[in-house]
């Protein structure tokens, strides 16, 4: 019997303990629910049932061996006992061991698998159920799905192998009993203890079942062996997935922030879009209005263009007419100048105005001569002293103009202004005052602050006339010099420096002279010129004389040079005005400063000599005998319009000097000077002008029209 028991040779234990393969610690670490525990390893739970089955079989064999021992006396009892015990043992063993179909022996793979996959799978965690993991399932999800789809059948309900079934069915009464003996839960069919064959077959069936089960488990073991690797792979993938998940979460957070930001932006843009739309609608309305205005304006512009063209045409016509008018005006102005100067010429190139000054309040006690003014040009002088009256007789003098003591400065300048006009037309003008000391020369030329004389009024007239000439296309430049002749020495009244100044002949014309090294100021307005005049007056030598408390003890020459330019006509006109305030003659008997008086009287005497020489038409005119005559040479005998004021005092004690002065003036008045010529040049032919030249007439004569 014993030898006939098949040995479980097909049962193979695992070559190595599964525990050493499985990373139980890792499994424990991640284990939940139905995962493996240390006490549920194959070594602990899976193998013992198998060994117990085998042990049971061995125990049964051992007992059978004992039962077969040669004790005949006890065989009957023992057999009974063995029989009962055998049956009881099996039943007891089955009940005590409670190992039906080794239900708890297999680890709950489905639950373990479900740990990596679907932990919610209830079927996978049911004890006693077995999840068969098909080979080749890689991913956890797939595993879970597969596990959930695999049939999980209780071990008791598991069908026996076909051979076992066939073996069982081949035995009488064993078909139903054996098939349900293992894990079926049904009450097993009792086998008689003495039915060894049946028991053997039963055991054989059990063996087969167990063998099949074992093989299946080995197969499962093989599958499970691959689980760590899969687990590692899965874990690494899980880590990767977690990393990816974290990254994805980070990205997601970032994206969510961006989405929030973009949402805000969209809201802002939407708001601004709304505003923009409103503005757009307003602008569209404005655009319509502007468009309509533009259309109306365009029409207006067209009309205006047409009108502009018409106006331009008219403008051109008028411009032509204006040019013609300008030309006519220019020509008319030239004719006026010619006529004016012709009249001046007819009046004589050297004219004499006689002015008798009134007695001052302080002089009311002084006796005055008898002055009879026959007409505006004739004056009769009589001495109130009978002796002198008989000696000198009636003294009647005729001049170009006689101004009685009541004549005002305005009356005087009214007669002078035409000469100033001539200067602007390019003529040389010379105005000088001659007379006894205290006779009113300085009063006539400079005047007093409340009643200015010829020179300040000349300045005002010049600048007024320049404005009018500007409308005719003339631009004027005025240059001024202030010269003093004191004791036959030249002084620059605009400078306090000691200078070596001389009267020199111009190189280009022997009749032209200039003063070297003199300060020349270009004046742009009357105020500037007045300031210069004041400076010159302050620098002039004055002293007290018998006839004048503040007598001018020098000859003062103010020269104004007028340079006019007509750009359009390319014409330049150069005129000059010499305004001379001579020092007063004085009787040596009353003089305090003899040298000074001698020089003054000498220069005045030389002036008389020059005039007489001119009267007598002598070949030699002694201009160079004194600084004064030398300086006035162009004005006395050259190209100049000259005006001489003869100033006389009304007093009886000045009778002799007054007669002397009037006789000299009368002789000057009879002097026939050559006709003055106008200084006109074309721009291209304008010579280099020496501004220091006192008289520029000679420069200009060669260009006389």
Mark the binding-site residues, compressed into ranges: 435-442
Is residue 437 a contact residue for ligand ATP (CB under 6 A)? yes
Q: Quote the least distance from Cβ 440 to ligand ATP, whole Å.
A: 3
In the bound state with ligand ATP, the residue whose beta carbon lies nearer, of 422 and 649, is 649
Q: What helix, strand, coil percent values describe the chain, rounded to 5? A: 55, 15, 30
Q: Looking at beta carbons only, is 51 or 590 nearer to ligand ATP?
A: 590
Contact (CB, 8 A) for 370 and 662 = no
Least distance between ligand ATP and beta carbon 661 (Å): 11
Q: Which of 129, 235, 442, 599 binds ligand ATP (CB under 6 A)?
A: 442
Nearest distance from residue 609's CB to ligand ATP, in Å?
20
User: Exactly one of 177, 193, 438, 650 binds ligand ATP (CB under 6 A); which one?
Assistant: 438
Q: Smaller CB distance to ligand ATP: residue 512 or 581?
A: 581
The DSSP symbol for 651 reads B
C-beta of residue 548 within 8 angstroms of C-beta of residue 485: no
228 touches ligand ATP (CB under 6 A) = no
State in angstroms the smallest separation of the CB of 659 from ligand ATP.
17
CA dihedral defined by 112, 117, 121, 127, rounded to 10 degrees?
Answer: -10
Locate all alpha helices (DSSP H) within 545-654, ordered by sequence: 594-615, 627-637
**Site for ligand ATP, residues 508 to 567, rule: CB under 6 A:** 545, 548, 551-552
**Exposed e or buried b per residue across 276-286, where buried means at least 16 C-beta atoms within 10 angstroms of its C-beta:** eeeeeeeeeee
Task: Kindly indicate which of the ranges 87-95, 324-332, 375-383, 442-450 contains the residues binding ligand ATP, using the contact rule CB under 6 A.
Answer: 442-450
Nearer CB in complex with ligand ATP: 186/448: 448
Report the C-alpha gap between 558 and 540 in whole angstroms: 12
In the complex with ligand ATP, the residue whose CB is nearer, 363 or 385, is 363
Compute the least distance from the CB of residue 443 to ligand ATP, in Å: 3
Instruction: Pick between residue 254 and residue 594 the one whose CB is nearest to ligand ATP.
Output: 594
Residues 292-311 that bind ligand ATP (CB under 6 A): none
Query: What end-to-end distance do the CA atoms of the chain give, in Å?
Result: 177
Please report how close the Cβ of residue 572 comes to ligand ATP at its closest, in angstroms: 37
Neighbours of 552 (CB within 10 A): 25
Binding mask 327-366 for ligand ATP (x = CB under 6 A): ------------------------------xx-x------
Among 66-74, 106-114, 264-272, 431-439, the segment contacting ligand ATP (CB under 6 A): 431-439
213 vs 355, beta carbon nearer ligand ATP: 355
Residue 345 backbone dihedrals phi, psi, to 5 degrees: -65, -40
Helix or strand (DSSP H, E) at 152: none
- Alpha-carbon dihedral sign for residues 304, 305, 310, 311: positive
Residue 314 φ/ψ region, left for φ over 0, alpha for ψ in the -120 to 50 degree band, beta for the rest:
alpha
From residue 53 to residue 92, the character string flagging contacts with ligand ATP as x (rule: CB under 6 A) and all else as - is ----------------------------------------
Footprint on residues 634-693 left by ligand ATP (CB under 6 A): 647
Instruction: Report helix, strand or coil for 679.
Output: coil
Per CB under 6 A, the list member of 440, 456, 637, 650 interacting with ligand ATP is: 440
Integer Cα distance of 476 and 467 in angstroms = 9
In whole angstroms, give the CA distance from residue 338 to residue 705: 12
Nearer to ligand ATP, 116 or 651 (CB): 651
Of 220-228, 387-395, 432-440, 669-677, the window that binds ligand ATP (rule: CB under 6 A) is 432-440
Q: Return the residues of window 566-585 that contact ligand ATP according to CB under 6 A.
A: 583-584
Residue 127 CB burial class (10 angstroms; 0-12, 13-18, ≥19): exposed
The long-range contacts involving 156-164, CB below 8 angstroms and separated by at least 24 positions, are 156/100, 156/101, 156/103, 156/182, 156/183, 156/184, 156/185, 157/183, 157/184, 158/101, 158/183, 160/205, 160/208, 160/209, 160/212, 161/208, 161/209, 161/212, 163/208, 164/205, 164/208, 164/209, 164/212
Give min distance, CB of 358 to ligand ATP, in A: 5
Task: Tell me the C-alpha distance between 513 and 511, whole Å.
Answer: 7
Residue from 99, 441, 555, 677 touching ligand ATP (CB under 6 A): that is: 441
Minimum distance, C-beta of residue 406 to ligand ATP, in the bound complex (Å):
9
Closest residue to ligand ATP, based on beta-carbon distance: 584
Total residues contacting ligand ATP by CB under 6 A comes to 19
In this structure, are residues 505 and 462 in contact, taking their beta carbons and an 8 Å threshold?
no
Choice between 217 and 658, CB closer to ligand ATP: 658
Q: Which segments are annotated as binding site for ATP?
A: 435-442
β partners of residue 485: 490, 555
433 vs 501, beta carbon nearer ligand ATP: 433
Q: With CB under 6 A as the contact rule, which of the stretches 108-116, 392-400, 430-438, 615-623 interacts with ligand ATP? A: 430-438
374: helix, strand or coil? coil
Among 49, 180, 435, 575, binds ligand ATP (CB under 6 A): 435
Pairing of strands 571-581, 641-648: unpaired
Number of H helices, E strands in the chain: 18, 20
Q: Which is nearer to ligand ATP, 437 or 573 (CB)?
A: 437
SS3 295: helix
Q: Which helix or strand (DSSP H or E) is residue 622 part of?
A: none
Q: Which of 129, 148, 184, 439 binds ligand ATP (CB under 6 A)?
A: 439
Residues 384-413 that bind ligand ATP (CB under 6 A): none
Nearest to 672 by CA among 636, 696, 701, 626: 636
Compute the least distance from the CB of residue 496 to ligand ATP, in Å.
Answer: 22
Q: How far is the CB of 542 from ligand ATP (least distance, A)?
A: 7
The least CB distance from residue 534 to ligand ATP, in Å, is 16
Q: How far is 384 from 367, CA to CA, in rounded Å?
A: 8
Q: Mind giving me the DSSP string for 516-533?
A: TT---EEE-SHHHHHHHH
Residue 372 CB, nearest approach to ligand ATP (Å): 19
Closest to ligand ATP by CB, 397 vs 443, is 443
Q: Are 554 and 541 in contact (CB under 8 A)?
A: yes
Q: Is 453 in the site for ligand ATP (CB under 6 A)?
A: no
Q: At closest approach, how far in Å is the CB of 513 from ligand ATP? A: 25
Of 361 and 497, CB closest to ligand ATP:
361
Looking at beta carbons only, is 397 or 645 nearer to ligand ATP? 645
Residues that bind ligand ATP (CB under 6 A): 357-358, 360, 435, 437-443, 448, 545, 548, 551-552, 583-584, 647
């Amino acid at each position: 019997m014993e030898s006939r028991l098949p040995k479980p040779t097909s049962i193979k234990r695992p070559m190595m303990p599964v525990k050493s393969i499985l990373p139980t610690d890792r499994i424990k670490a991640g284990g939940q629910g139905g995962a493996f525990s240390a006490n549920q390893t194959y070594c602990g739970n899976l193998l013992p049932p198998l060994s117990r089955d085998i042990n049971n079989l061995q125990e049964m064999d051992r007992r059978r061996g004992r039962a077969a021992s040669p004790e005949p006396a006890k065989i009957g009892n023992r057999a009974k006992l063995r029989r009962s015990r055998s049956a009881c043992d099996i039943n007891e063993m089955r009940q005590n061991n409670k190992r039906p179909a080794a239900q708890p022996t297999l680890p709950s793979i489905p639950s373990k698998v479900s740990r990596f996959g679907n932990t919610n799978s209830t079927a996978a965690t049911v004890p006693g159920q077995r999840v068969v993991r098909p080979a080749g399932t890689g991913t956890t999800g797939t595993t879970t799905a597969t596990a959930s789809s695999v049939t999980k059948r209780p071990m008791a309900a598991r069908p026996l192998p076909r051979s076992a079934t066939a073996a069982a069915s081949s035995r009488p009464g064993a078909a139903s009993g054996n098939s349900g003996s293992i894990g079926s839960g049904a009450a097993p069919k009792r086998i008689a203890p003495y039915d060894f064959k049946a028991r053997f077959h039963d055991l054989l069936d059990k063996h087969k079942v167990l063998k099949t089960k074992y093989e299946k488990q080995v197969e499962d073991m093989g599958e499970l062996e691959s689980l760590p690797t899969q687990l590692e792979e899965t874990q690494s993938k899980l880590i990767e997935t977690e990393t990816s998940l974290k990254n994805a979460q980070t990205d997601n957070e970032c994206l969510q922030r961006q989405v929030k930001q973009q949402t805000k932006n969209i809201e802002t843009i939407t708001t601004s879009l709304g505003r923009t739309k409103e503005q757009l609608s307003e602008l569209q309305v404005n655009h319509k209005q502007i468009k309509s205005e533009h259309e109306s304006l365009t029409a207006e512009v067209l009309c205006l263009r047409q009108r502009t063209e018409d106006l331009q045409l008219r403008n051109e016509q008028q411009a032509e007419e204006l040019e013609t008018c300008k030309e006519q005006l220019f020509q008319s102005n030239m004719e006026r100048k010619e006529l004016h100067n012709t009249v001046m010429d007819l009046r004589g190139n050297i004219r004499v105005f006689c002015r008798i000054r009134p007695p001052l309040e302080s002089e009311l006690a002084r006796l005055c001569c008898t002055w009879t003014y026959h007409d505006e040009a004739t004056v009769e002088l009589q001495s109130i002293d009978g002796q002198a009256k008989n000696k000198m007789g009636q003294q009647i003098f005729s001049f170009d103009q006689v101004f009685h003591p009541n004549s005002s400065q305005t009356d005087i300048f009214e007669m002078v202004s035409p000469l100033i006009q001539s200067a602007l037309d390019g003529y040389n003008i010379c105005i000088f005052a001659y007379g006894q000391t205290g006779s009113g020369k300085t009063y006539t030329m400079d005047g007093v602050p409340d009643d200015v004389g010829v020179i300040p009024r000349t300045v005002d007239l010049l600048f007024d006339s320049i404005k009018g000439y500007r409308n005719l296309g003339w631009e004027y430049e005025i240059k001024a010099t202030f010269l003093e002749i004191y004791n036959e020495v030249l002084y620059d009244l605009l400078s306090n420096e000691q200078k070596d100044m001389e009267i020199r002949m111009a190189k280009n014309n022997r009749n032209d002279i200039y003063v070297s090294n003199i300060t020349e100021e270009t004046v742009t307005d009357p105020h500037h010129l007045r300031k210069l005049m004041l400076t010159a007056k302050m620098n002039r030598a004055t002293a007290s004389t018998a006839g004048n408390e503040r007598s001018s003890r020098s000859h003062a020459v103010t020269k104004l040079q007028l340079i006019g330019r007509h750009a359009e006509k390319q014409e330049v006109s150069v005129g000059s005005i010499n305004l001379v305030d001579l020092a007063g003659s004085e009787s040596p008997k009353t003089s305090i400063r003899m040298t000074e008086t001698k020089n003054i009287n000498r220069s005045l005497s030389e002036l008389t000599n020059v005039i007489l020489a001119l009267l007598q038409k002598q070949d030699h005119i002694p201009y160079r005998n004194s600084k004064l005559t030398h300086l006035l040479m162009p004005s006395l005998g050259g190209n100049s319009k000259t005006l001489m004021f003869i100033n006389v005092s009304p007093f009886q004690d000045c009778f002799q000097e007054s007669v002397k002065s009037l006789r000299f003036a009368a002789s000057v008045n009879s002097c026939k000077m050559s006709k003055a010529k106008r200084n006109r040049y074309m721009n291209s032919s304008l010579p280099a002008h020496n501004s220091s030249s006192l008289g520029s007439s000679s420069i200009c004569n060669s260009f006389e029209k």
